[in-house]
Amino acid sequence: MRYLYLHGFASGPTSSKAAYFRERFGEWGLALEAPDLTSGDFAHLTITSQLAVVERTLAGQAACLIGSSLGGYLAALYAARHPEVARVVLMAPAFGFARRWPLRLGEQAVQRWRETGWLTVYHYARKAEARVHYALLEDGLRYEDFPAVAQPVLIFHGTRDEVVPASFSQDFRALHPHAELRLLDSGHELTDVLEPMWQETRRFLRLRA
């Protein structure tokens, strides 16, 4: 069984959560892989291109997926299309990714993004501003807000999340009664609840040293 961590938007495989979980997995003698979902080209990032990275990485092998924010949404999309995925852990998953941009930026800002082709955002991994093309949103609209994940799912979501409201995970849970939802007193990053998330993740994935 392989274990894959999918990082969030404008983040990377060396994020604090990725590093924390990689270390915890290592203590159990297990490898947690974290591919760069941008393939070194953040400017032309799309949902389709990121799913392709996951597909190339796993090459049809059985795996458990852990995803944070956009990575959580990607994990759900991938699992819904790949029955060889065994279990899925989602942290503040960015369900409704494309639909939420106008709500977050405002209609005028999205219109400028469409007209100019580019949006400038803060890239947390680079610690600098970076541009991303409108193709990200255009491509994202091709995908469903709430993927039909048949596999066991564990979701962590902060009740104080102002980036992706916890109501999106609650809506997903309503559509997927088999999913476990843990609402935590935290924000979007969830970095202050890493230990309880790890303990729950270890139980859910049935990890053995």
Mean pLDDT of 105-120: 95
Q: For 15-63, write each residue's pLDDT tens digit.
A: 999 999 999 999 999 999 999 999 999 999 999 999 999 999 999 999 9
Q: 191 Cβ partners below 8 Å, 6+ apart? A: 16, 17
185 class by beta-carbon count within 10 Å (0-12 exposed, 13-18 middle, 19+ buried): exposed
27 burial class (0-12, 13-18, 19+ CB within 10 angstroms)? exposed
Express each pLDDT in 74-85 by its tens digit.
999 999 999 999
User: Does domain 2-95+148-205 correspond to CATH entry 3.40.50.1820?
Assistant: yes
Query: What residue type is assigned to position 9 of the chain?
Result: F
pLDDT single digits (tens) 116-168: 999 999 998 888 999 999 999 999 999 999 999 999 999 999 999 999 999 99
Question: Distance (Å, rounded) from C-alpha 126 to C-alpha 40?
Answer: 12
Biggest distance spanned by C-alpha atoms of the chain:
53
Assigned token pair, 83? 């029955």
Q: Give the Cα separation of 137 and 187 in Å (integer).
A: 24
Q: How many Cα atoms sit within 13 Å of 203 on the Cβ side?
A: 7
- Put simply, whether the predicted model's pTM sits higher than 0.95 gets the answer yes
**CB contact at 8 A, 154 and 90:** yes
Strands 32-33 and 85-91: unpaired
> Per-domain residue ranges for the chain?
2-95+148-205
